[in-house]
Amino acid sequence: MATGSATARGQGQARRAANSKAVAAAARAGFVARGVIYVLIGVLSVRIAFFGGGEQADRGGAIAEIAQKPFGTVLLWLLGIALAGMSLWRLSEAAFGQAGPDGDKPGKRAIAAGRCVFYGFVSYSVLSYAAGDKGSGSGSSDKNSQDVTAKALDWPGGQWIVGIVGAAVTAAGLWIAVRAVMRKFEKHLKMQEMSPKTRQVVTFLGVFGGTARGIVFATAGGFAIAAAVQHKPGKAKGMDDTLRTFADTPAGPWLLTVIAIGLVAFGVFSWANARWREV
């Protein structure tokens, strides 16, 4: 009994450390940074829908857009540090479990670990660009996707690998969209602290923004599957080309505009997470 009690106390102390004010602040800063990136990607997508041009509607385009502003380099440093904070928070979730009654489930810890790696990579890209490596972070997501796909297709069983990854991305996108429609995000937010009007707005942003984000991911995964089936790396698309594809549908630029506004909505929803997320 004493050993079990000591173990429980140790786990409780670890969890409190993971949920410290410093980690919570890092998480909230990370949500702000994520919101900035998605809002800029959405704005760039609207420009492309109606004006065309050579701008990139992806993370690289967002970084380049910030860099052009007054004090752009300073802003990029702040953005990269904030994203590192998001990675740190996800690491704490992977190590000690998430907030909530089922936060200790291995599946949730594994997802948190994956998000930790992802945000760590994004943070590194932004900070490298801010430090002067202009080839880092701002590179075309389309070229990167095609280069990685081409290398993978040359591996033994490469078509299967690319196809499985594409199917996983498609499934993840659909999962994101379905969870958004089902309003699963509400259990992670302090909804009781919002006014009725604010709850309506945040819920709309979460549903609309999450659905748009999921559709983009699912579509990109579909292109990866096509690249695997046809053994053509050029079929793979990053976020920029995936978004441009929506403009090539019969709905023309209007479908891309709807998706773009959805990405802006997700960015604003990320800012709401910075305020009301349970961390």
Q: Is the pLDDT of residue 100 over 70?
A: no
At residue 19, the pLDDT reads 57
User: 107 falls in which pLDDT band (50, 70, 90)?
Assistant: confident
Close Cβ partners of 202 (under 8 Å, ≥ 6 residues apart): 189, 191, 194, 269, 272, 276
Of the candidates 136, 134, 140, 125, the residue with the CA atom closest to the CA atom of residue 240:
140
Report the pLDDT value the prediction gives residue 63, as an integer from 0 to 100.
85
Instruction: Select the more confidently predicted residue: 53 or 186.
Output: 186
pLDDT exceeds cutoff 50 at 140: yes
Q: What is the pLDDT of residue 20?
A: 80
39 against 236, higher pLDDT = 39
For the chain, domain boundaries: 140-279
3-state SS track over 153-219 = HCCCCHHHHHHHHHHHHHHHHHHHHHHHHCCHHHHHECHHHCCHHHHHHHHHHHHHHHHHHHHHHHH
Report the candidate in 127, 274, 117, 267 with the shortest Cα–Cα distance to residue 188.
274
Secondary structure (3-state) at 99: coil
Q: Which residues of 243-275 are buried (b: 16+ CB within 10 A; e: fewer)?
A: bbbbbeeeeebebbbebbbbbbbbbbbbbbbbe
Return the CA Rg of the chain: 20
Sign of the torsion formed by the C-alpha atoms of 240, 89, 170 and 178: negative
Task: Give the CA diameter of the chain.
Answer: 70
Q: What is the pLDDT of residue 1?
A: 45
Does residue 277 sit in helix, strand or coil? strand
Mean pLDDT, residues 264-271: 98
Tally the residues of the chain.
279
Bigger pLDDT: 32 vs 131: 32
Helix boundaries (H) for the chain: 2-18, 21-51, 59-67, 72-96, 106-130, 141-153, 158-181, 196-230, 239-247, 253-276
Q: How far apart are CA 240 and CA 141, in angstroms?
A: 7
Alpha-carbon dihedral 189, 84, 77, 61, rounded to 10 degrees: -70
